[in-house]
Amino acid sequence: MALHLPQLPLEALLRGRALSEARGEPWAVIEGREVLACDAAARALGVRPGMALSAAWALAPRLRARPRDAGLEREALEAIAGWLCRFTPSVSLEPPQGVLAELRGSLRLFGGIGPLAAQLRAGLGEMGFTARLAAAPTARGAWWLALGSSEALLEERAQLERALAVLPVDALGCDPGSLALLADVGVACVGELMRLPRDGVARRFGQALLDALDQALGSAPEARACYRLPERFAARLELPAPVTQAESVLFAARRLLVQLEGFLAARHAGIRRFALRLRHRDARDGVIGIGLAAPAREAEHFTRLLRERLQAITLTEPVEAIALEAAALVPLPGASANLFRDARTEGEEWARLIERLEARLGGGTVQGLAVHPDHRPERASRRIAPLGGTQRAASAGPRPLWLLEPARRLREAGGAPQDGGPLELLAGPERIESGWWDGGEIARDYFIARSADAALLWVYRERGAAGGWYLHGIFA
Amino acid sequence: MPSVLPGYAELHCLSNFTFLRGASHPEELVERAAALGYGALALTDGCSFAGVVRAHVAAKERGLKLIVGTEVKLEDGLKAVLLATDRRAYGALSTLITVGRRRGPKGGYTLARDDLERLAGTGALALLVPGGEPDAEQARWIAAHFPGRAWIAAELHCGPNDRARLAALRALAAGCGLPLLAAGDVHMHVRSRRRLQDALTAIRLGRPVAECGRELLPNAERHLRLRMRLAQLYPPELLAETLAVAARCTFSLDELRYEYPAELVPAGETPASWLGKLTGEGLRWRFPHGVPRKVAELVAHELALIGELRYEAFFLTVHDVVRFARSRAILCQGRGSAANSAVCYALGITEVDPGRMNLLFERFVSRERNEPPDIDVDFEHQRREEVIQYLYAKYGRERAALAATVICYRTRSAVRDLGKALGLSQEQVDGLAKSLSWWDGARALPGRLAEAGFDPASPVIARLSALLGELTGFPRHLSQHVGGFVIARGPLAELVPIENAAMPERTVIQWDKDDLEALGLLKVDVLALGMLSAIRRALELVAARRGRPFTVADVPQEDPAVYEMIQHADTVGVFQIESRAQMSMLPRLKPANFYDLVIEVAIVRPGPIQGGMVHPYLRRRQGIDPVSYPSEAVRAVLERTLGVPIFQEQVMQLAVVAAGFTPGEADQLRRSMAAWRRKGGLERFEARLVRGMLERGYSREFAEAIYRQILGFGEYGFPESHSASFALLVYVSAWLKRHEPAAFCAALLNSQPMGFYAPAQLVQDARRHGVEVRPAEVAASAWDCTLEDCREGEPAVRLGLRMVGGLSEAAGERIAAARAVRPFESVQDLARRAALERRDLKCLAGAGALASLAGHRHHAHWAAAGVERGAALLAAARSAEAAPVLAPPSEGEDIVADYASLGLTLGRHPLALLRPRLRRLRLACAEELRTLPHGRAARTAGLVTCRQRPDTASGVIFVTLEDETGCVNVIVWRDLVERQRRELLGARLLGVQGVIEREGEVVHLVARRLTDHSALLGALAARSRDFH
């Protein structure tokens, strides 16, 4: 059985997109300045693969274009291979966009070739992939049929020979140079190619092509490297449009959970815990750890648990990507454990203490601090996660350690600021005008002032029409 | 109360020519400084004089004293402002900048202390700009190397503690015995440019503003501050010191005098005597049977004027370049104000016979205007490099360099950079920039933004739109001018700094052509013109067939057959008048003599079109409107163009004779005309112009009409002198097309890429005129297209191997050479004797050029792919392989392959094959459309050969469709452009449903609906050309 994934570059990037968000925005994956693949919305506007990006922009000004991510595609291919392992141990990759599986031995188990193909299609769909499937007595034959989008499910060698003869030559997956030469000499289908003199073909296209033809027809054997399942499960998914709704995160996570289930089935194993990592727009990670009372394997089960957890969480920052991790596989030959017996009370780790503290005391109560390069005093430091990294920055002028947030308006008498008596301005003005780009623009003249009780204060006068004096900080 | 305010001169000021730092134009800085009552302003861009001429011109106008200087930051961190006191110091600074720029990377500079040491004794002044922690060592070094000429600049900008800073600088100054003065480190003329300045910083750092943090300026204090404010900030003696320094800087750019190269005059001659001799020789060459009296008088008069203004060396310089080109048989022609003089005709700089034209030399070289004469010389585009190398070799790189072109931000590039600076993602920026089509200006922005999915009211977009207006027009970097050479007697670097151009081994000066013109410095324009290559090639082909030399001078003048062809707009390939706009004008204008061509060239241009000159002229010429003049003086100016101003010179002259402008003022008007669209500023001339005309008894109506015409002229006005030179090329190329169509076609093909039409159209046009065109073929073709004998005596064009896509010239030449030894026997033989790679053979097979050796294309490709080189070749030759039977390609496949390789086909037009299907779709052909009456509805389809959107036709796009019977000119109005953008831009085979618009011979189809029929073409490889 051969699976060809013509939309893989697009799906690898977009499969995390919930259907509710899919409407309207046309998407394309580009390589260089050329459209490699595009979705239905883009297609409807006239965008086609192979088109120059500039031409695509002209047709679809709202087109969202992402560069191809080969790493992600490879991961997706391996994910599919891993999932396929639940049906057969002999799975091999046909990069960049294909997977082959030897299924002869599993046919009876899964009800024959037709039902099995339907099952594959459904599973792939749940993971967010669309594939062209073809089956044939030889691996290469099946692969060529899939590439030629024939989608035939053949079990006899004679059928295969007839099917291959009418296959267009571009289904051979050979190099562009050979393909161009075939077109140049007017050879359109595999049958015509097979009729050419063999010595002439070998000289012009190389012996490899003849060998491949023989392998496809079954007159020569073909050895393929088997895909090996990794020891632990890790998969990630980009969210093309950052999401803030738990439901959308869940949708994307489900694609990975289906993948996980296939992986576990292939390993005849279950897990006791898994972790969903949420990457936020500001590059911070949030982790949702789920523990199970007993080892389990079913995606449905995992999904339910995850939904419960997600509903309890408010997403403050949009999520840009998710990753699913599961280690510590437990052998699980039979059915999985009861749905409701997972124990949240099992030993919490120390690191979760802060989460629990926050949950009790209210969000944002436990913080770390770091300096941040910005002229605006209120933005010159920044809250970071507890135990976050440390950094240094060149200091600006004199800055008090204690800042009032927000600054406190001071009374005025005769244009001079008062705070329990007149303030004496010792130094200044230090003028700060900055921050127009994020709506937090300030324009102030800062002074160091001494109050009547000899405290050193940091005060400023608002520039512009509003005016007014404010106390912003206290020097220790 | 200005009297109580202290005087001040700003000595440290950056303009936007310190790219991505300065946030104001030099002109803005000058105007603001003048308005604030500054005693002087020093423009001190970072290691650059690129903005000083603009500042100089503005300062002269506002009566402000401008000081020329530069800010330099050395590799060891020392930062100083250097000021020019006199010509010598200026030359030293210019040389210093040159050294720093030539040593540094493109766009940057590298200087060290020993470079500054070389300024010793030149009179240059130095202001040390101390860093955050004042460094006494730097101060001592400056004091030691600029004794009596160094200061420490105190630049207070409301920092954390100005008082402490000033005290520290005072201590520093006292410690090394240097005086302290106030300076502003000005980055913008007004504080409101702060946002733009922040954005520029972000662009410079390649990060969003929000991530620039403390690299941004903390406040907007680096602007030109009120003197009152300065008085509060600085002790009076620090302000007074600035005036003392300014007083020592007496240098003005007006002192720069251009010195012509000396080597052009042989020993014992003066420039005047030598020019006289050369002109005399030239006259005898031009007029072997005696010089006409009129011409002789003209020459004498011109020589006197040249002598009076001492322009001899300029004419000698141009003559030298032209003489060199001629010695290498490179065709060239001069144009420009001085080029149409009798002297230039005699010197061979131009071919426009002064007897044929009635142009007054004084109109172009005026006594009043102190500016150098203007001569541009066009050379064959494929050989201009030889001329440039000659100039470098003759004068050396120290004395000759190209003028700069200032590349400015345009809407799209500004959107890109600002978008990134404001934190939009690359993808959003691309979306934004791409949503602006090639024709959209800044005004289209809101609509385009909405279309691209941006909310124009969102804060980010509002910020972007606000900054966009300011950034557009800002200089971005210097590039090289297309061919403006500046040549000096001594080292050029002492006149103007020189920096590296992007092209290796090229250097550019820091001034552009406007700067040079403003200072009256001379440049020689060495330009490239494709048509000159084509004409030279055509003349050579004609000469070869006739067996005797044949030059431009041998082309018969005023041939009626040529004009008849032109009047029918049968002008594909003819210089200038081949464009669609020109073609639709020709049948109406009906040029019948040379001067009509001069007008034709000038009239179909945005200037006259926007000024509304075209229709009045046509109506008068056709006798519909009477020709009248408001006065005799105006008649003298406008009589040759029937009372309608068409040339730039006429507008200037009108200002003089009708509105009382002096020639100098008229010249300013011309400059403003060129710039008003960018900068505005023409309004002040309006009042002056109208008043002047009213005073002289002209009607308000006439005066305002003239003003409107001036506005319309804008930067597109075309000078008569250029037009005349171009018209000559129009005539020569038209004559060749009419009488030597085969030679003309071959020459055009050999000169590609050039002109308006692709080879396919040129070949089709030639065939329509009865020229036989033969295929490219290894058994017959040379590299170039050639002429072959044909039975009827008319030559046939043999396509050259240059038409074969992907084939190298060297391979083409080897094929021709090997064939000359003996004909090829087989593809194998060809490959061996011409040493061809498989790749070359594949190209030849694709072009159908192996037909004589291998048969049809499929067999040719099979044979080509089977060829091996070296040892394998011998083995292959011995073992004969079985020949396959391959089906021949269909006609359609052959046509597609022809287009893919050659860009044209000699077979049937692709639409001829599709005609039955097009008929079923009820689509008519071009021929049928030509006969339809005005107002009739029509449907057609054709290959899109050209889409054009003239600047003058608000949003309209002209599309040319081609089928097997000819071309259809389609007009697509703006609303349809918007509605059917996709079909318009995407279709290769475009169907149009519309209405016929007919005026005499000129037929257009006004589109109502467009359909994309490209699917019918399959893989047809015809590409359209988009013109801006």
User: If you write DSSP's letter for every residue of A124-151 in order, what string do you get?
Assistant: HHHHT---EEEB-SSHHHHHHHHHTT--
ipTM for the whole predicted complex goes beyond 0.85: no
Residue B202 has pLDDT above 60, yes or no: yes
Q: Specify the higher pLDDT residue, B976 or B365.
A: B976
C-alpha dihedral sign at B428, B433, B437, B440: positive
With an 8 Å Cβ cutoff, are A184 and B857 in contact? yes
Strand order in the sheet with B507-512: B332-335, B376-380, B524-529, B475-487, B400-408, B507-512, B498-500
- Choice among A135-139, A157-161, B429-433 with the minimum mean pLDDT: B429-433
The two beta strands, A98-101 and A64-67, are unpaired
Contacts of B449 in chain A (CB under 8 A): none
| pLDDT tens figures, B335-346 | 877 777 888 889
C-alpha dihedral sign at B884, B888, B889, B895: positive
Shortest Cα–Cα distance, A303 to chain B (Å): 33
Shortest Cα–Cα distance, B171 to chain A (Å): 20
Q: How many CB atoms lie within 10 A of CB A183?
A: 17
With an 8 Å Cβ cutoff, are A57 and B194 in contact? no
Out of A46, A61, A204, the one facing B866 most closely (by C-beta) is A204
Out of A59, A184, A434, the one facing B986 most closely (by C-beta) is A59
Q: In chain A, whose CA is at the least distance from the CA of B423?
A: A437
With an 8 Å Cβ cutoff, are A430 and B194 in contact? no
- Choice among A441-445, B715-719, B808-812 with the minimum mean pLDDT: B715-719
Shortest Cα–Cα distance, A407 to chain B (Å): 19
Radius of gyration of chain A (CA): 32
A436-442, Cβ contacts within 8 angstroms, sequence gap of 24 or more: A436/B194, A436/B195, A436/B198, A436/B463, A437/B195, A437/B198, A437/B208, A437/B209, A437/B210, A437/B422, A437/B423, A437/B463, A438/B210, A439/B459, A440/A376, A440/A379, A442/A376
* Top mean-pLDDT range of A33-47, B98-112, B692-706: B98-112
One-letter amino acid of B931: T
Residue A83 has pLDDT above 80, yes or no: yes
Query: What is the model's pLDDT at position B565?
Result: 96
- Choice among A170-184, A334-348, B259-273, B277-291 with the minimum mean pLDDT: A334-348
Query: What is the model's pLDDT at position A357?
Result: 58
Query: What is the model's pLDDT at position A18?
Result: 63
Out of A53, A200, A434, the one facing B866 most closely (by C-beta) is A200
DSSP string, B240-275: HHHHHHHHH----GGG------STTS-TT--HHHHH
Residue with tokens 């400084």: B33
Which of A 438-457 lie inside 8 A of B, CB atoms? 438-439, 445
Q: Are A172 and A190 in contact (CB under 8 A)?
A: yes
Q: Which residues pair with B507 in a beta bridge?
A: B500
The two beta strands, A269-280 and A233-243, are unpaired
Q: Are B1017 and B1011 in contact (CB under 8 A)?
A: no
Query: What is the model's pLDDT at position A353?
Result: 59
Question: Which stretch of DSSP H or E encloses residue B145?
Answer: helix B136-145
Shortest Cα–Cα distance, A60 to chain B (Å): 8
With an 8 Å Cβ cutoff, are B431 and A64 in contact? yes
Q: Are B816 and B834 in contact (CB under 8 A)?
A: no
Residues A189-203 have a mean pLDDT of 88
With an 8 Å Cβ cutoff, are B881 and A197 in contact? yes
Q: Specify the higher pLDDT residue, B375 or B217.
A: B217
Query: What is the model's pLDDT at position B63?
Result: 93
Residue B797 has pLDDT above 50, yes or no: yes
Query: What is the model's pLDDT at position B1025?
Result: 38
Out of A199, A396, A436, the one facing B882 most closely (by C-beta) is A199
Shortest Cα–Cα distance, B433 to chain A (Å): 10
Q: Are A325 and A232 in contact (CB under 8 A)?
A: yes
Residues B853-879 have a mean pLDDT of 73
Which residues, 6 or more positions from A442, have their beta carbon under 8 angstroms from its beta carbon? A376, A432, A433, A434, A435
Q: In chain B, whose CA is at the least distance from the CA of A436?
A: B195
Residue A204 at interface with chain B, using a CB cutoff of 8 Å: yes
Which of A 95-124 lie inside 8 A of B, CB atoms? none
d(CA B919, CA B849): 34
Residue B870 has pLDDT above 60, yes or no: no
Contacts of B842 in chain A (CB under 8 A): 184
Q: Are B702 and B616 in contact (CB under 8 A)?
A: no
- Choice among A45-54, B182-191, B676-685, B946-955 with the minimum mean pLDDT: B676-685
Q: Are B170 and B4 in contact (CB under 8 A)?
A: no
Average model confidence (pLDDT) across chain B: 86
Residue A475 at interface with chain B, using a CB cutoff of 8 Å: no
**What are the tokens at B817?**
């050479």
What percent of chain B has pLDDT above 70?
A: 90
* Top mean-pLDDT range of A58-72, A257-271, A375-389, B53-67: B53-67
Q: B46 — phi, psi (to 5°)?
A: -65, 110
d(CA B668, CA B670): 5
Query: What is the model's pLDDT at position B334?
Result: 87
Q: In chain A, whose CA is at the least distance from the CA of B209?
A: A437
Residues A239-246 have a mean pLDDT of 78
Residue A191 at interface with chain B, using a CB cutoff of 8 Å: no
With an 8 Å Cβ cutoff, are B160 and A196 in contact? no
| pLDDT tens figures, A107-124 | 878 888 888 888 898 889
| pLDDT tens figures, B546-572 | 999 998 889 998 999 999 999 999 999
Which of A 418-437 lie inside 8 A of B, CB atoms? 427, 429-434, 436-437
CB pairs under 8 A between A and B: 141
Residue A267 has pLDDT above 80, yes or no: yes
